[in-house]
């Protein structure tokens, strides 16, 4: 079928059963073969004309002929022109033509339906493809926007987390202030007292130097030595210096430990000895222990752990301060470290009041606290949990009211340790 025939056959769906003219019906039939067959059947003259008189097959001749009507589905579509001698054979030829044209009608109708369906499917596919392209563009835009929003959200969360750590650190510093001040004031007090005494000793020595320089008599110098008890001064002066040096060293240790605690603002990780972090943290909180309360360390030999020492120190500080409050001057606190395959376990056990089982699932929630208003931030354990998670670890708690609590931190070791 030619392109023109296909265009003619591609009819609107509502017109597939319309009336077809003879030209359309004959479009799929080989005119030469049809004419040759009719000539053999009926002889000449013979031709086929449409209803409007136009010759469709053969050529009209100026000879006597009979015009036989050709009908399709009872509709007149044209005429077969034959010789008057054709007789019954002419009617037989018409019947044969009508059968061919009826088949042509069915073909045109089926072709129209098929092409219409194909075109509709193609249009539907085009629309679906366009919708998919639009959806893909939209998805890409949403994906890019989502990535940007996620990055912004991550930055916001990190900033908020740093603020939470800073808030909790400030709260811890406030609780430590009195104890640390007392711990520093003790050595400062006796260093100051020793320096005042040393100043009087220096004045006595200055008097001796003055007498010696002036060439005083030996008995006068001896009398001065006895009056000022210079032998004791020289001995005690050495003791004063040793005590003052020890006090200054104690202050330096406290300051160094506080500097380690203040390192929470640093984000760098390094290989650290967990036991050293625990010792430093315990030394900082030790002044908070009063009465018969005890703090004991049971630290195993451990390989280095890649961590942020300031952050872990903050976590240990929060757990120790909670334990100190829980034992209320009379209990015991045990800090224990163990190596378990590829992880380091750090346990903080106390013999305090324990935790009510009804709130066990809430203790790590930010801002949850059982303390009175103004006595706690509710961030301590939330910060501990976040710090442990940031180090790839986990935290577990076991507690019985009236018996105490055990917080166990599990921290991974570097590969190939």
**pLDDT value at residue 398:** 94
Pairing of strands 332-340, 343-350: antiparallel
Do 390 and 326 fall into the same domain?
Answer: yes
| Region of poorest pLDDT, from 1-15, 196-210, 321-335, 341-355 | 1-15
**Those residues with Cβ within 8 angstroms of residue 167's Cβ, 6 or more apart along the chain or in another chain:** 377, 379
The more confidently predicted of residues 75 and 164 is 75
Among residues of the chain, what percentage have pLDDT more than 90?
18
Task: Tell me the CB-side half-sphere exposure of residue 94, using CA atoms within 13 A.
Answer: 21
**pLDDT value at residue 161:** 67
Whole-prediction pTM: 0.48
**pLDDT value at residue 162:** 67
pLDDT, average across residues 7-14: 45
Instruction: Tell me if 337 sits within 8 A of 344, measured CB to CB.
Output: yes
- The per-residue b/e assignment along 163-188, b for 16 or more CB within 10 angstroms, e otherwise, is ebbeebbebbeebbeebbeebbeebe
**pLDDT value at residue 412:** 94
Torsion from C-alpha of 376, 378, 379, 382, nearest 10 degrees: 140
| Region of poorest pLDDT, from 120-124, 209-213, 261-265 | 261-265
| Region of poorest pLDDT, from 121-125, 134-138, 273-277, 282-286 | 121-125
Residue 251 lies in a domain: yes
Residue 155 lies in a domain: no
Is residue 333 scored above 90 in pLDDT? yes
Do 276 and 361 fall into the same domain?
Answer: yes
Residue 95 lies in a domain: yes
Q: Using one digit for the tens of pLDDT, what is the confidence trace for 68-127?
A: 888 887 778 788 788 777 778 777 777 887 777 777 777 777 777 777 777 777 888 888
* Gap between the Cα atoms of 52 and 368, Å rounded: 98
> Residue 402 maps to which CATH number?
3.30.565.10
**pLDDT value at residue 411:** 95
Instruction: Name the residue range of residue 252's domain.
Output: 166-263
Among residues of the chain, what percentage have pLDDT more than 70?
83
The more confidently predicted of residues 174 and 238 is 238
Confidence band for 4, pLDDT divided at 50, 70 and 90: very low
Do 204 and 294 fall into the same domain?
Answer: no
Do 258 and 275 fall into the same domain?
Answer: no
If DSSP codes are grouped into helix, strand and coil, which group holds residue 35?
Answer: helix
Do 230 and 321 fall into the same domain?
Answer: no
Do 52 and 180 fall into the same domain?
Answer: no
**pLDDT value at residue 347:** 97
Final residue before a domain boundary, out of 263, 280, 297: 263
- The per-residue b/e assignment along 325-335, b for 16 or more CB within 10 angstroms, e otherwise, is bbbeeebbbbb
Pairing of strands 294-299, 332-340: parallel
**pLDDT value at residue 295:** 93
Residue 359 lies in a domain: yes
The more confidently predicted of residues 230 and 179 is 230
Residue 14 lies in a domain: no
- Dump the DSSP string for 209-263: HHHHHTT--HHHHHHHHHHHTHHHHHHHHHHHHHHHHHHHHHHHHHHHHHHHHGG
Determine how many CB atoms are found less than 10 A away from the CB of residue 236: 15
Burial environment of residue 81 by CB neighbours within 10 A (0 to 12, 13 to 18, 19 or more): buried
Structural domains in the chain (count) = 3
Do 274 and 259 fall into the same domain?
Answer: no
Q: Which residue has the tokens 């019906």?
A: 25
Cα-flanking dihedrals φ and ψ of residue 249, to 5°?
A: -65, -40
**pLDDT value at residue 329:** 80
Residue 157 lies in a domain: no
Do 360 and 251 fall into the same domain?
Answer: no
Confidence band for 167, pLDDT divided at 50, 70 and 90: low
Final residue before a domain boundary, out of 207, 238, 263: 263
Instruction: Tell me if 269 sits within 8 A of 306, measured CB to CB.
Output: yes
Do 91 and 185 fall into the same domain?
Answer: no
* Gap between the Cα atoms of 237 and 202, Å rounded: 9
Cα three-residue angle 397-165-305, rounded to 5 degrees: 65
Average pLDDT, the chain: 79
**Those residues with Cβ within 8 angstroms of residue 169's Cβ, 6 or more apart along the chain or in another chain:** 261, 262, 264, 314
**pLDDT value at residue 170:** 61
Q: Using one digit for the tens of pLDDT, what is the confidence trace for 353-393?
A: 999 888 888 888 877 777 665 555 667 888 889 889 989 99
Is residue 180 scored above 80 in pLDDT? no
Do 208 and 279 fall into the same domain?
Answer: no
**pLDDT value at residue 213:** 85
**pLDDT value at residue 11:** 43
Do 396 and 291 fall into the same domain?
Answer: yes
pLDDT, average across residues 225-236: 80
Do 204 and 283 fall into the same domain?
Answer: no
Q: Using one digit for the tens of pLDDT, what is the confidence trace for 26-49?
A: 776 777 777 777 777 777 777 787
pLDDT, average across residues 251-264: 62
Q: Using one digit for the tens of pLDDT, what is the confidence trace for 336-359?
A: 999 998 999 999 999 999 998 888
Final residue before a domain boundary, out of 263, 282, 297: 263
* Gap between the Cα atoms of 353 and 404, Å rounded: 5
pLDDT, average across residues 308-316: 89
If DSSP codes are grouped into helix, strand and coil, which group holds residue 271?
Answer: strand
Residue 146 lies in a domain: no
Query: Residue 107 is inside which H or E element, if any?
Result: helix 88-213
Token couple for 283: 């030394």
Residue 159 lies in a domain: no
Confidence band for 173, pLDDT divided at 50, 70 and 90: low
- Dump the DSSP string for 274-314: HHHHHHHHHHHHGGG--TT-EEEEEE-----EEE-HHHHHH
């Amino acid at each position: 079928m030619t392109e023109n025939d296909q265009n003619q056959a591609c009819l609107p769906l509502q017109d597939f059963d319309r009336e077809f003219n003879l030209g359309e019906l004959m479009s799929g039939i080989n005119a030469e073969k049809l004419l040759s067959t009719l000539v053999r059947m009926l002889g000449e003259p013979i031709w086929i004309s449409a209803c409007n008189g136009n010759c469709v097959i053969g050529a009209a001749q100026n000879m006597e002929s009979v015009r036989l009507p050709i009908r399709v589905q009872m509709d007149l579509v044209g005429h077969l022109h034959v010789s008057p001698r054709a007789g019954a054979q002419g009617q037989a030829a018409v019947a044969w033509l009508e059968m061919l044209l009826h088949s042509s009608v069915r073909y045109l109708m089926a072709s129209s339906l098929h092409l219409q369906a194909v075109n509709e499917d193609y249009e539907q596919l085009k629309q679906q493809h366009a919708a998919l392209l639009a959806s893909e563009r939209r998805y890409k835009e949403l994906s890019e926007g989502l990535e940007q929003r996620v990055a912004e959200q991550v930055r916001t969360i990190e900033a908020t987390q740093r603020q939470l750590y800073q808030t909790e650190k400030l709260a811890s510093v406030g609780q430590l202030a009195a104890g640390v001040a007392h711990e520093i004031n003790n050595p400062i007090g006796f260093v100051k007292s020793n320096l005042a005494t040393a100043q009087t000793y220096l004045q006595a020595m200055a008097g001796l130097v003055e007498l010696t320089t002036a060439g005083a008599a030996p008995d006068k110098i001896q009398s001065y030595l006895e009056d000022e008890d210079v032998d004791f001064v020289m001995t005690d002066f050495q003791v004063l210096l040793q005590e003052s040096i020890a006090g200054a060293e104690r202050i330096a240790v406290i300051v160094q430990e506080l500097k380690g605690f203040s390192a929470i603002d640093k984000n760098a990780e390094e290989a650290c000895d967990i036991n050293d972090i625990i010792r430093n943290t315990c030394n900082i909180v030790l002044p908070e222990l009063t009465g018969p309360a005890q703090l004991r360390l049971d630290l195993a030999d451990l390989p280095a752990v890649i961590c942020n020492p300031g952050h872990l120190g903050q976590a240990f500080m929060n757990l120790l301060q909670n334990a100190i409050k829980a034992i209320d001057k009379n209990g015991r606190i045990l800090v224990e470290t163990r190596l378990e395959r590829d992880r380091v376990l750090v346990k903080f056990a106390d013999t305090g009041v324990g935790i009510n089982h009804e709130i066990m699932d809430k203790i790590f929630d930010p801002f949850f606290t059982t303390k009175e208003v103004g006595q706690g931030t509710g961030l301590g354990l939330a910060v501990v949990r976040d710090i442990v998670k940031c180090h790839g670890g986990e935290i577990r708690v076991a507690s019985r009211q009236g018996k105490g609590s055990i917080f166990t931190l599990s921290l991974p070791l570097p590969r190939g340790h």
